Structure 1
């Protein structure tokens, strides 16, 4: 599997040029048969060093290598995968806090989905005083 589409690659590079912002994760990688979830928000100009939330049983913010993710060989010919259904509009800080409270990124996904629904409702539904 190709771990990054051209569009994701460009978005990650653009975010990498804008260090310090609380970016929305662009892509989620995961280990299909075991632990390991990575949410990437930025890519360095070297084309290899990603930044985001890495959860290998102990979640932490930091850098990780695209080449290393690509080179992982798992049982049955599997490797690290890109979650093709992953989409979020919430920044990495929300994901990090939800992961910290839930104990893992996988456990936090339900919490983040609830937060996203709640925030979307706030945006789409004008307050009663607006009528």
Structure 2
């Protein structure tokens, strides 16, 4: 059984800001990269749960679920989700010619993932109905 998105976000927060008195054996860059992996996993799980509620067939192809999110969850949520997922994906990859992500950058993404989890937990389809009425 896998951990819930909220548990993954909490674990990422502990990596970024360890409790006082904790022996830290990892460098800040390595902790930030590990936190980015956990945050991307949390966002993926939240997207899967969202599409499972809306239409279960959408969970099979990751690219389609991101492209169609605007029509179901609203433009702002879809844009934030795509931007955050892309930034976390870039932070997860190790490249010898780049510095690791800064903990402050990943902490900003942690706050964004927390907000997106709340937005994706909302009722599916309500954002597209309201945006269509505003047009």
TM-score by length of 1: 0.31
TM-score by length of 2: 0.30
From the two aligned structures, give the one with the greater strand fraction: 1
Higher relative contact order (CA 8 A, sep 6+): 2
